[in-house]
Structure 1
Amino acid sequence: MEVILLERIAKLGQMGETVKVRDGYARNYLLPLGKALRANEGNKKRFEADRAVLEARNLERKSEAQTVAEKLDGKSFIVVRAAGETGQMYGSVAARDVAEILAAEGFTIARNQVELNQPIKTIGIHQVTIHLHAEVEITVELNVARSAEEAERQLKGEDLTSAEAIYGVDEDALKPENFFDPDAQDEDEEEEA
């Protein structure tokens, strides 16, 4: 199906372009959300008549997104979750959780604006991209830890999933060659000799 885009859509096109998309994408997403119109003569004339209003509305949304971006860009948020000793979380942090965390800080972000290819399942510091507008994108930092104290230690650069942090032992001490010496004789062999 051919549609006329009413706003810039990433990986698809700019406002006013006529693009060919799959029927389901147009019917289920672009048309109901008012992001596009079916490409026919009546809609082309309607778009040209409303073009100035659409461009002004798009510019207004972009400026609002940029003001939010200036406040939010580069900020760090602490997320406390239960996790095992190795740093593997018992649950995960999904886009919905990120939106709720930002909402608790006073930012209204929809979960579809949060770009997470897969949920966060380990503790540590994670970079999350947020799309505020088709042309405005920012990155926030999520400090996922088991407690606020661990979050502070992670900020200082400490690795909470290393053997030293977990067991209090240097990583080299846990190598197999430190447990077994192939040149040493077995105690039973020494008694027989």
Structure 2
Amino acid sequence: MDVILLERIARLGQMGETVKVRDGYARNYLLPQGKALRANDANKKRFEAERATLEARNLERRSEAQKVADALEGKTFVMVRSAGETGQLYGSVAARDIIEALAAEGFNIGRNQVDLSLPIKTIGLHKVTLLLHAEVEIEIEINVARTVEEAERQAKGETLTSADAIYGVDEDALRPEDFFDPDADREGDEE
């Protein structure tokens, strides 16, 4: 199906372009969301008549998204989660959790604006991209830790999944001889 785009859509085209898309994509997403019109003579005339209004609305949305991006620039959000000694989370941090953390800080971001292909399953610092507008995206940092103190240590650059960080022991200093004596007599050994 041929459609006229009413806004810029990533990997599809710019506002005003006529593009060919699959029928289901047009019927189920582009047309109901108001992102496109069917490409026929009546809709082409309608688009040309409304072009200035659509461009002004798009510019307004873009400037609002840019304001939010400027406010989010350089921010780190801390997520406290339960995790094992190796740093594996007992759950995960999904897009919904990121939205809740942003909302707690006063940012109204939609779930579909979080570009997180897989949930976060380990402690550490993770970069997450937010798609605020077709032309505005920003990368924020998510600090996943077991405690707030651990998050502060991670933010300073410490690694928290090694034996040194967890137990305060230097991994290189650990040797098998420190744990058992190979020369010790074992019960039941006969010589």
**TM-score, scaled to structure 1:** 0.89
Match of 1:179 among 152, 176, 179: 176
CA displacement, residues 101-138 of structure 1 (integer Å, 9 cap, x when unaligned): 10110010001001101000111011111011100111
Q: 1:167 offset after TM fit, Å?
A: 3.4
Q: 1:187 offset after TM fit, Å?
A: 6.0
- Name the structure 2 match of 1:128: 128
Q: Distance in 2 between the 1:172 and 1:22 partners?
A: 59
Give the aligned CA root-mean-square deviation in angstroms.
1.8
Matched length: 184
- Name the structure 2 match of 1:144: 144
The answer to whether the 8 A contact 1:5-1:19 is kept is yes
- Name the structure 2 match of 1:97: 97
Instruction: Report sequence identity in percent.
Output: 77
The answer to whether the 8 A contact 1:2-1:39 is kept is yes
Query: Secondary structure, in 3 states, of the residue corresponding to 1:130?
Result: strand
Q: Distance in 2 between the 1:24 and 1:89 partners?
A: 38
The answer to whether the 8 A contact 1:69-1:132 is kept is yes
**Pairs within 5 Å for 1:1-193:** 1-174=1-174, 178-179=175-176, 192=191
Write the letter of the residue equivalent to 1:76.
T
Write the letter of the residue equivalent to 2:92.
S
Q: 1:163 offset after TM fit, Å?
A: 1.8
CA displacement, residues 150-193 of structure 1 (integer Å, 9 cap, x when unaligned): 0001011111101212233222245xxx427xxxx8667xx95x
Write the letter of the residue equivalent to 2:176.
F
Q: Distance in 1 between the 2:3 and 2:173 partners?
A: 64
Q: Distance in 2 between the 1:90 and 1:168 partners?
A: 23
Q: Distance in 2 between the 1:64 and 1:179 partners?
A: 61
Which stretch shifts more, 50-59 or 164-173?
164-173
Q: Distance in 1 between the 2:45 and 2:66 partners?
A: 31
Q: Distance in 2 between the 1:37 and 1:98 partners?
A: 33
Q: Distance in 2 between the 1:104 and 1:22 partners?
A: 39
Q: Distance in 2 between the 1:187 and 1:119 partners?
A: 50
Q: 1:73 offset after TM fit, Å?
A: 1.4
**TM-score, scaled to structure 2:** 0.90
Query: Secondary structure, in 3 states, of the residue corresponding to 1:62?
Result: helix
CA displacement, residues 42-67 of structure 1 (integer Å, 9 cap, x when unaligned): 11111111101000000011111111
Q: Which runs of 5+ in 1 are unaligned?
A: none
The answer to whether the 8 A contact 1:86-1:166 is kept is no
Q: Distance in 1 between the 2:10 and 2:60 partners?
A: 18
Q: Which runs of 5+ in 2 are unaligned?
A: none
